[in-house]
Amino acid sequence: ITTTAWPGFLDSWLSRIPLPKWALIAVAVAGAILLLLFLICIIRCCCGKKKPKKKERISLCPISNSTTASLVQPEMEDLERGVEQMCRGKLQYSLDYNFRRQELKVGVKQAVELKAMDSGGTSDPYVIVYLTSDMKKRYETKVYRKTLNPIFNESFTFQVPQAEVPESTLVMQIYDFNRFAKHDIIGEVRLPLASVNLQHVIEQWSELAAASKVEEEQLGEICFSLRYVPSTGKLTVLILEARKLKRMDSRGLSDPFVKVHLILNRKKWKKKKTSVKKNTLSPYFNEVFVFEVPFNQIQNVDVVISVWDHDKVTKNEPIGKLFLGCRATGNQLRHWSDMLSNPRRPLAQWHILQPPDVVDKALGLKSHLKLPLASR
């Protein structure tokens, strides 16, 4: 009775629905499909809520990274930098190059809308003018008190050979004068003369830019060759030429000569020097010096090359130095290593001169007394 009651009840219930049997089957199948799709949607929604949380956790890590932060911040920084740049002001100047006299006349006209450097909202501006090719020669205008729109109307003349004009940059820096503190720089104009047509007089305005870092003074370059023969213990130094040396005389030239020192165990040992070349910044020497250095001492020797300006009246002044040896660095060490790895072969190379005090400090000489060894 239990097994036959349910089918009979189902048949009697279905017989009451005014639809054919095939239609009922189709409705049942459609309902099953809808129910299945509903279950799939529920499952996907539940899983979808968990995945974004994981993605958010992963994506939060790069946000704290400096790279991502730099992508977010520059707009504000650039805006502030742009505002700061605009607030520095403008400078009017003129340029007039006399090709016959080889003179550059720089006129500092006026400045407008300068940045206020004092607490009272004003500045005490003045201008420093110089060329990067001769930084020792600088001119200054008068100081104008409590103004952001000074009128200077001053001119300065530089002796610049025509061949050196393309290598020079005109620098005009505006400072705020302070009586009891360091003078603050308001801004500067840097004008490479190679980019200027000096065939006619130029008068123009330029925006003041933020002052660049203090440039290293260009002392010049020197070319020489080294040769070492281990079997005989002979070290040959051939001083070839120098170029773009620093101007040491009032007329914009120098009287250069070269000294070659040998340092043994951080003590001065042997020295020789070239002849003096008069009135030139690009001397040609082609002078050779031979030193006897035993092979067992070559690792303890430093070769110091120094360029000097000769002066009959006062003391000779050093223009620049450099040293080679196992304690050297950069191109100097590379040149020395090439010499040792290529015995009996002369190797020539150009080197940039360095400030004398920097080289002396790097050498760390123990004493200025010479060893009792005869120079050759």
Q: Which residue's structure tokens are 């590379």? A: 334
Nearest to 271 by CA among 301, 241, 300: 301
- Confirm whether 89-208 and 221-363 share one CATH topology: yes
Q: Which residue's structure tokens are 């003074």? A: 217
Q: Look at residue 6 in the predicted model and tell me its pLDDT.
A: 52
Extended beta strands in the chain, E state = 90-98, 103-112, 125-131, 134-140, 151-159, 169-176, 184-192, 202-207, 221-229, 234-243, 256-264, 267-273, 284-292, 301-309, 317-324, 347-352
d(CA 197, CA 95): 10
Beta bridge partner(s), residue 104 = 97, 158
- Statement: residue 374 has pLDDT above 70: no
Kindly report the CATH number that applies to the domain delimited by 221-363. 2.60.40.150
What pLDDT digit, counting tens, does each position of 152-166 carry? 999 999 998 888 888
Cβ atoms within 10 Å of 158's Cβ, excluding its own: 20
User: If you average pLDDT over residues 243-272, what whole number do you get?
Assistant: 88
Pick 209 or 250 by higher pLDDT: 209
Q: How many CA atoms lie within 13 A of 334 on its CB side?
A: 6
Identify the band that residue 2 occupies on the pLDDT scale cut at 50, 70 and 90: very low
Q: Look at residue 138 in the predicted model and tell me its pLDDT.
A: 83
Q: Look at residue 151 in the predicted model and tell me its pLDDT.
A: 95
Q: Domain ranges in the chain?
A: 89-208, 221-363
Identify the band that residue 19 occupies on the pLDDT scale cut at 50, 70 and 90: low
Identify the band that residue 75 occupies on the pLDDT scale cut at 50, 70 and 90: very low
Nearest to 188 by CA among 198, 200, 197, 176: 176
What's the mean per-residue pLDDT of the chain?
A: 81
d(CA 142, CA 114): 16
**Per-residue tokens: 145:** 């008190």
- Going from the C-alpha of 339 to that of each of 27, 41, 101, 222, 245, the distances in angstroms are 98, 80, 46, 17, 26
- Contacts by residues 339-347 (CB-CB < 8 Å, ≥ 24 positions apart): 339/226, 339/227, 339/228, 340/228, 340/298, 343/228, 343/229, 343/230, 344/227, 344/228, 344/229, 345/227, 346/225, 346/226, 346/227, 346/236, 346/238, 347/225, 347/226, 347/227
- Contacts by residues 80-88 (CB-CB < 8 Å, ≥ 24 positions apart): 84/210, 85/207, 85/209, 85/210, 87/113, 87/115, 88/114, 88/115, 88/186, 88/187, 88/207, 88/208, 88/209, 88/210
CB 181 within 8 A of CB 147: no
Interacting residues of 152 by C-beta distance below 8 A, sequence separation 6+? 108, 109, 110, 111, 127, 141, 142, 144
Identify the band that residue 180 occupies on the pLDDT scale cut at 50, 70 and 90: low
Beta bridge partner(s), residue 81 = none
d(CA 48, CA 54): 10
Q: Look at residue 67 in the predicted model and tell me its pLDDT.
A: 35
What pLDDT digit, counting tens, does each position of 80-109 carry? 444 445 578 999 999 999 999 999 999 999
Q: Which of 10-24, 46-60, 80-94, 99-113 has the lowest mean pLDDT?
A: 46-60
∠ Cα 67 68 72 (to 5°): 120
Q: Look at residue 295 in the predicted model and tell me its pLDDT.
A: 92
Kindly report the CATH number that applies to the domain delimited by 89-208. 2.60.40.150
Pick 227 or 183 by higher pLDDT: 227
CB 75 within 8 A of CB 90: no
